[in-house]
């Protein structure tokens, strides 16, 4: 019986998190994959990559919870349409609903803590640490924050 080639969702908010997930382009090209990120005012793309966009969100904005509900609905739509086997994410807030939806459906989650986090966690990392099947850190000192994490060095 042939082995199933997994479908992978690469998910990251905009800015530095998107830049870090972009470093995984060789994996994106190797597997059936798609990318989920935030809608922004600046233009970017990864060649030949199927992309979906979520609304940007800041946890301190007035209607953050309402906006998060809308992002959750969009994330559910993307998940049901694409049916990924695995989510690989660098966070943050906008992609949390997608990650939790994947876990509810029994899918795998890999979280890569931001290169910028040398000694303290991201809020999304703190939340998704308990759900991630594999959790990677890019600095050895982060093992004290996430004892079960895998230190891999920088992905840059």
DSSP per-residue letters across 143-156: GGTSTT-EE-----
CATH 3.40.50.2000 fits 7-151, yes or no: yes
Model confidence over 63-72: pLDDT tens digits?
A: 888 999 999 9
Q: What is the pTM of this model?
A: 0.89
Q: Is the pLDDT of residue 1 over 90?
A: no
Structure tokens at 75: 């994330």
Query: For position 57, what pLDDT does the model report?
Result: 84
Q: How many CA atoms lie within 13 Å of 126's alpha carbon, on the beta-carbon side?
A: 7
Query: For position 112, what pLDDT does the model report?
Result: 94
Residue scoring higher pLDDT (5 or 73): 73
Residue 24 contacts residue 155 (beta carbons within 8 Å) = yes
* d(C-alpha 156, C-alpha 57), whole Å: 26
- Residues near 47 by beta carbon (within 8 Å), at least 6 away in sequence: none
| DSSP secondary structure code for residue 44 in this structure | -
Model confidence over 70-125: pLDDT tens digits?
A: 999 999 999 999 999 999 999 888 999 999 999 999 999 999 998 877 887 888 89
Residue 79 contacts residue 100 (beta carbons within 8 Å) = no
Residue 136 contacts residue 152 (beta carbons within 8 Å) = yes
Q: Is the pLDDT of residue 43 over 60?
A: no
Query: For position 90, what pLDDT does the model report?
Result: 93
Query: For position 44, what pLDDT does the model report?
Result: 58
Query: For position 156, what pLDDT does the model report?
Result: 63
Query: For position 42, what pLDDT does the model report?
Result: 62
> How many CB atoms within 10 Å of residue 10?
28
Query: For position 88, what pLDDT does the model report?
Result: 97
Share of the chain above pLDDT 70, in %: 92
Among candidates 82, 89, 88, 23, which has minimal Cα distance to 51?
82
């Amino acid at each position: 019986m042939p082995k199933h080639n997994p479908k992978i969702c690469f998910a990251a908010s905009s800015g530095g998190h998107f830049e870090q997930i972009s470093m995984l382009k060789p994996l994106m090209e190797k597997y059936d994959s798609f990318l989920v990120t935030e809608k922004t005012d600046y233009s970017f793309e990864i060649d030949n990559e199927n992309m979906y966009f979520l609304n940007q969100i800041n946890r301190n904005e007035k209607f953050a919870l309402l906006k998060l509900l809308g992002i959750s609905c969009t994330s559910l739509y993307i998940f049901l349409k694409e049916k990924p086997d695995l989510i690989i994410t660098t966070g943050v807030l906008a992609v949390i609903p997608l990650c939790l939806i994947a876990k509810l459906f029994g899918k795998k989650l890999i979280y890569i803590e931001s290169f910028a986090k040398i000694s303290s966690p991201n809020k999304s990392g703190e939340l998704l640490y308990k759900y991630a099947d594999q959790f990677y850190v890019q600095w050895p000192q982060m093992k004290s924050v996430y004892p079960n994490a895998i230190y891999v060095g920088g992905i840059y």
